Structure 1
Amino acid sequence: MKQIAVLLLGLSSLIGFSQEIALLKYSGGGDWYANPTSLPNLAKFCNQNINTKINTKIPTVEVGSPDLFSYPFVHMTGHGNVVFSDSDVINLRNYLTSGGFLHIDDNYGMDQYIRKEIKKIFPDNPLVELPSSHPVFQKPFVFPGGVPKIHEHDNKKPQAFAIFIEGRIVLIYTVETDLGDGWENQEVHNDPIDVRTKALKMGANLIYYVFNN
């Protein structure tokens, strides 16, 4: 009964959602707080360039909290270990299958852990690499090569993977790109303006895709 009540709460929250985004706080020791300036900067960029009205004071929401259902777009990042409890898995699955969306950006070091946790949420739905022709790379900004490379880690190509549920993308996982670093204040990583702009445009595409599909 408790799970049903949470699901109903989630459905009612997502039906009337506003344009808000949140940062996901998780357990396991990984630094979920790794990029403190990234989401405020992304929100500001989206408000200025794609006509959103996102609050630039970005809230933090825990994986197992019913507050998760208040946000149509939730972002997750970090460098290390991630652990979802059984209740976290249920809450996150209910959130994603009732209209929510999760963007996970590997800040380098998360990959070996997060893949196992994603599998716990959707054991029967594999991560599928998105081709460069997918709409998320086409508007409002065009990325003909797919997700861009922002920071170099292991000399591997940047990739974007998705989980599809009944034809809808509920989760996108970006790896070997480090979009979140590109969203941070310029002085944090001293990235050139063109690199930061590229990262922000890709982030705006993610926001646009979620808010318009």
Structure 2
Amino acid sequence: MKKIAVFFFGLSSLLSFSQEIALLKYSGGGDWYANPTSLPNLVKFCNQNINTKLNTKIPTVEVGSPDLLSYPFVHMTGHGNVVFSDNDILNLRNYLTSGGFLHIDDNYGMDQYIRKEIKRVFPDNPLIELPASHAIFQKPFVFSTGLPKIHEHDNKKPQAFGIIVENRLVLLYTVETDLGDGWENQEVHNDPIDVRTKALKMGANILNYVFNN
């Protein structure tokens, strides 16, 4: 666990060391590889705007791999089915209770599947909706009404849910927003610049929260 602890000295450590975030690969048939330009673009935005020094090359890590513990932040997305093995469940729970952070962004279609798997990881820690007053919406960019809406699917409000373990937010689940689509290259979805900027700023808030709490 020593390796994971190194990443949690806060933003000051980011100013001295290049670090990595990772994309989570999972089983079940869902397209875990969706939005290939999203994380590189988010990292570039953060490096330019909140003084991080994150590596722009994004590695892929499997849920059950011991390498998961090498990354302070892991992002998960997709449109479809998600299945975690028993080993995946144990490894992910160990990662999250030992200092790691998982952001799950529903790319539309994974909600009914991922909620079941989250429940298996933390059967005693329910998903709770984060209020607009939560710190993750306050800095470095203020989102006074909470999670921004990036893409429309079912005419539902965007929601941010979290798993809290010993007073620490360890898992963030964003739904009905599609932040990752907003992080993608502009020509992929042709989002207006203000929409993409909102998505990138919210992503920066998430990374800022991870490295400062």
TM-score (normalised: structure 2): 0.94
Count of residues in correspondence between the two structures? 203
Question: What letter is aligned with 2:49?
Answer: N
Question: What letter is aligned with 1:174?
Answer: T
Q: Following the alignment from structure 1 to structure 2, what is the Cα–Cα distance between the partners of residues 123 and 13? A: 27
Question: What letter is aligned with 1:95?
Answer: Y
| Offset, 1:16 | 1.5
| Offset, 1:28 | 0.1
What is the match of residue 6 of structure 1? none
Unaligned runs of 5+ residues in structure 1 are 1-10
Question: What letter is aligned with 1:65?
Answer: S
Q: Does 1:109 align with 2:99?
A: no
Q: Following the alignment from structure 1 to structure 2, what is the Cα–Cα distance between the partners of residues 20 and 198? A: 23
| Offset, 1:22 | 0.3
What is the match of residue 154 of structure 2? 154
The CA deviation string for residues 59-82 of structure 1, in whole angstroms up to 9 with x for no partner, is: 000000011001000000000000
Mapping of residues 40-51 of structure 1, within 5 Å: 40-51=40-51
Mapping of residues 1-213 of structure 1, within 5 Å: 11-17=1-7, 19-213=19-213
- When structure 1 is superposed on structure 2, of 14-23 and 111-120 the one drifting more is 14-23
Identity among equivalent positions (%) equals 85
Q: Following the alignment from structure 2 to structure 1, what is the Cα–Cα distance between the partners of residues 56 and 162? A: 26
Unaligned runs of 5+ residues in structure 2 are 8-16
Q: Following the alignment from structure 2 to structure 1, what is the Cα–Cα distance between the partners of residues 176 and 75? A: 16
Q: Following the alignment from structure 1 to structure 2, what is the Cα–Cα distance between the partners of residues 191 and 136? A: 24
| Secondary structure of 1:164 counterpart | strand
| Secondary structure of 2:74 counterpart | strand
| Offset, 1:20 | 1.9
Q: Following the alignment from structure 1 to structure 2, what is the Cα–Cα distance between the partners of residues 50 and 109? A: 32
What is the match of residue 3 of structure 1? none
Question: What letter is aligned with 1:181?
Answer: D
Question: What letter is aligned with 2:125?
Answer: N
| Offset, 1:32 | 0.2
Question: What letter is aligned with 1:171?
Answer: L
User: CA RMSD of the aligned region, Å?
Assistant: 0.6
TM-score (normalised: structure 1): 0.94
